[in-house]
Amino acid sequence: MDVILVVNAGSSSVKFQVFSVEAPSGLKCHIKGQLDGIGTMPRLRASAIDGRVAVDQTYGATEIADVPAALQTVGAWLGGQHGITPIAVGHRVVHGGPEYSGPILVDAKVLADLDRFVPLAPLHQPNNLAAIRALMARFPYLTQVACFDTAFHRAHSALADYYAIPERFYAEGVRRYGFHGLSYEYIASRLPEVAPEIAQARVIVAHLGSGASMCALDKGHSVESTMGFTALDGLPMGTRPGQLDPGVVLYLITEKGMSPAAVQDLLYHEAGLKGLSGTSNDVRALEASTAPRARFALDHFAHRVGLYVGMLAASLNGIDAFVFTAGVGENSAAVRARIAARIAWLGAELDPAANASGETLISRHGSRIPLYIVPTDEELMIARHTVGLLSRNGKHRSEERHEAIR
C-alpha cells in the first residue's frame, strides 16, 4: 500500500495525517494526530479514522525540544507501531513568494528560495522549513512536496495585488499575496458536494481560527483576500492585529523608541484578541469570561469581519452565500451569531437552532444570503497536491524511495 504522510509544523506542534493512495486520484486517511507542547509539555496524540485512540503519550520537555525531535518521535511511532513507510511527505508551507504558484518538489535550491520569506511569516515559515530540513537530513532520497498557502490566490488581478507604492517594490515581490489558500481551495472543492447551488456563485468564505482571514470566491476561484504581503493583515486574530495604519508602526519606532524586533514581537505575539482583552487569545476563554474587555474583544472581531464582508462583496459585485470554516468558524455558535448580526443588512438571517446544533445550513429558510458551515481539511488538500505532483513527475510507487527511508 502506497502511503502519503502530510506534515503541518508549527512553533510548538507538529500536526500529521497518514493517507493511503487508493487509486490515482483516491485518498483515504488512516491516522490523524499531533505532537504538541514541544519544548514544554510534549504530548503525542493520534487517532484512527474510526475515532479509536491510537496513542496518547507524554514526554519530558528535554526529550522533545524542537520540531526535528518531534518529527523523529512521530516517525518512530508510525514506523514502529504501524510499519508505515511513506512514498512521499507533503508539507504546508505558508509563504511561496512570487516564484511559487503551485506545489513543488523540494530540493536545496527551493529551500534556499523559501528561506527568503521567513521575515514575512515568522510564526510559520521557519517551522515549516525546519520539518523539511529534518527529514531531508535523515532521508535524503525521500520525496518531499511543499504546498503553499499563497498559491490559491496567485490568479488575482493586478488591481487586487498591487500596493500604491512605486513599481520597483512590486517587482521585488512586495505585493498582496493572501494566505490560508489551502483551506479555501479545499472549501471550493467541497461546495459542489455540500452546497451545489452556490458552488459556481459569489461566495465569501471566512477562515476563522487563531489565524483568521476571508476570501472572495467567484465560481470557485479566489478573486480577493483580506490578507496581504504578510499574515498580519486583515482581520484581528488570536495574537495579531489585522489591518493597521502603517503610521502606527512608524510611531512605535520613532516616538516610542521600539526596535524593529520589538515591534515584530508586539504585532505577532501581543496584539489581536490577546491585546484587546488583556487576558487571552483563546475564543473559548473569552466566551466563558465575564470581563468587559473579553466581550469587547469578541465584539471588535465581529465588527471587523462585518466591515470586510462589505469590501469582499464589492470585489464580487455582490454576494450569494457566506461560509464559516476553521476552528472558531466551525465550533463557535456565539461568534457565528455575532457575525451574522453584522451582515443582516445584506439579507442574512440566522436560524438560531441550526446554528446551535452546527448544521451545514444555518440560515433561515428564505434568507437572501444563505449561511453555511463547511469544515476545512488542509491536510487532505496537501495530500491531493502531493499525489498529483508525484503522478505528473513519474515518481509514484518508487521502490527506491521505500528502501531509502527504512
Q: Enter the C-alpha cell of residue 5.
A: 504522510
Q: At a CB cut-off of 8 Å and minimum separation 6, what does 25 contact?
A: 387
In 3-state terms, what secondary structure has residue 207? Answer: strand
Q: Enter the C-alpha cell of residue 329.
A: 468558524
Q: In sequence order, what DSSP letters do the residues of 76-104 get, joined into one string?
A: HHHHHHH----SEEEEEES--TTT--S-E
Q: In sequence order, what DSSP letters do the residues of 323-370 get, joined into one string?
A: EEEHHHHHH-HHHHHHHHHHTGGGT--B-HHHHHHT-SB-BPTT-SS-
Would you say 156 and 223 are in contact if contact means Cβ atoms under 8 Å apart?
yes
Distance, CA of 311 to CA of 234 (rounded, Å): 11
Distance, CA of 21 to CA of 144 (rounded, Å): 16
* Helix H or strand E encompassing 135: helix 125-138
In 3-state terms, what secondary structure has residue 5? Answer: strand
Q: In sequence order, what DSSP letters do the residues of 252-273 get, joined into one string?
A: HHHTS---HHHHHHIIIII-HH
Helices 125-138 & 67-82 angle (0-180, nearest 10) = 50
Residue corresponding to grid cell 451545514: 360
Which among 2, 115, 149, 233 is annotated as catalytic?
149
Q: Enter the C-alpha cell of residue 139.
A: 532521508
Distances in Å between the Cα of 47 and the Cα atoms of 30, 90, 326, 373, 384 are 8, 20, 20, 24, 21
The answer to whether 149 is a known catalytic residue is: yes
Would you say 385 and 147 are in contact if contact means Cβ atoms under 8 Å apart?
yes
- DSSP-derived secondary structure letter, 241: -
Distances in Å between the Cα of 350 and the Cα atoms of 105, 196, 307, 341, 373 are 44, 20, 18, 8, 12
Distance, CA of 22 to CA of 97 (rounded, Å): 33
Distance, CA of 317 to CA of 202 (rounded, Å): 8
What are the catalytic residues?
A: 149
